[in-house]
C-alpha cells in the first residue's frame, strides 16, 4: 500500500476528499500522516476523526530550512511515498523539495499558469476571466510553478461572486485531486521537462 503524507494549514476539505477516496479504495494508497503548522487547524481534527496520526509543528521563530527539515523528518518516520499539499500556506524551501524529488504535489484553485498565488479564485473573478478551474501540479522551488498533472475547467458565470466561483472550484478540486494522486501513486505519470505524460491519456 502506497503511503501519502498530507500538509494542511486550515479547514482541510481537500484532505477530507483524499481520506474519503482512500476509504473507497479510489486513491491507490492511504493517508499515513497529516502535518500542520497551525495547531488548531480543522484539518488536524479531520485526521484524528479518521484515526490518522495528526502532527503539529510550529514554524514560528524558526528558520524556514529548520522548520522544513522537521517536517521532512516526520514524513520520513511515517514512510511517506508522496507528499500532498492541501492548503498548506507556506512556501517550501529547497531542503524540502529536494528531499522528495518529483514526489510533492499541490492543488491550486485556478488554471495555472494563470492566477498563481493567494486568492486565485478572486483574482480570476476580478480579472473578468470567463473560465477558471483547478490544477494539480508537482511542486518545485517556485510559487505554483511545477509541471501540471491534471486540470479541470470551471466556467465563470455572470451571476458569480468570487465566493460562488470559489465554491464551485472547490467541488472540482475534491474530484480532481484524488484522481491525480491516484495517477501518481500508480506510477502512470512520467515527467518530460515541463510536461507530465499520463499513460493512456
Residue 108 bears catalytic tag: yes
What is the number of the residue whose Cβ is closest to ligand GRF?
Answer: 87
The answer to whether residue 179 forms part of the interface with ligand GRF (CB under 6 A) is: no
Q: Which triple of cell numbers denotes residue 170?
A: 472547490
The answer to whether residue 86 forms part of the interface with ligand GRF (CB under 6 A) is: yes
The answer to whether residue 5 forms part of the interface with ligand GRF (CB under 6 A) is: no
Cα–Cα dist 83/113, whole Å: 22
Cα–Cα dist 103/2, whole Å: 12
**Cell numbers 502506497 correspond to what residue?**
2
Element (H, E) at 84: strand 82-85
The answer to whether residue 87 forms part of the interface with ligand GRF (CB under 6 A) is: yes
Shortest distance in whole angstroms from residue 15 CB to ligand GRF: 6
**Total interface residues for ligand GRF by CB under 6 A:** 13
Cα–Cα dist 183/96, whole Å: 22
Catalytic hit among 78, 79, 108, 127: 108
Taking the CA atoms of 12, 14, 17 and 19 in sequence, report the sign of the dihedral they define: negative
Q: Contacts with ligand GRF in 112-171 (CB under 6 A)?
A: 170
Nearer to ligand GRF, 13 or 164 (CB): 13
- Binding residues (CB under 6 A) for ligand GRF: these are 8, 10-14, 86-87, 107-109, 170, 173
Amino acid at each position: 500500500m502506497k503511503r501519502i503524507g498530507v500538509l494542511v494549514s486550515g479547514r482541510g476539505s481537500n484532505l477530507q476528499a483524499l481520506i474519503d477516496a482512500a476509504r473507497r479504495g479510489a486513491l491507490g494508497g492511504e493517508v499515513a500522516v497529516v502535518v500542520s503548522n497551525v495547531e488548531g487547524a480543522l484539518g488536524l481534527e479531520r485526521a484524528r476523526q479518521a484515526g490518522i496520526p495528526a502532527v503539529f509543528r510550529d514554524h514560528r521563530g524558526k528558520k524556514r530550512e529548520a522548520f522544513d527539515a522537521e517536517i521532512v523528518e516526520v514524513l520520513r518516520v511515517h514512510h511517506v511515498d508522496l507528499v500532498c499539499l492541501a492548503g498548506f500556506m507556506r512556501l517550501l524551501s529547497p531542503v524540502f523539495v529536494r528531499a522528495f524529488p518529483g514526489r510533492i504535489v499541490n492543488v491550486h484553485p485556478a488554471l495555472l499558469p494563470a492566477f498563481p498565488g493567494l486568492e486565485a479564485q478572486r483574482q480570476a473573478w476580478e480579472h473578468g476571466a470567463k473560465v477558471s478551474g483547478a490544477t494539480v501540479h508537482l511542486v518545485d522551488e517556485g510559487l505554483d510553478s511545477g509541471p501540471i498533472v491534471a486540470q479541470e475547467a470551471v466556467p465563470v458565470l455572470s451571476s458569480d461572486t468570487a465566493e460562488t466561483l470559489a465554491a464551485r472550484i472547490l467541488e472540482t478540486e475534491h474530484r480532481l485531486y484524488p484522481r491525480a494522486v491516484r495517477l501518481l501513486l500508480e506510477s502512470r505519470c512520467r515527467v518530460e521537462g515541463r510536461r507530465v505524460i499520463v499513460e493512456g491519456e
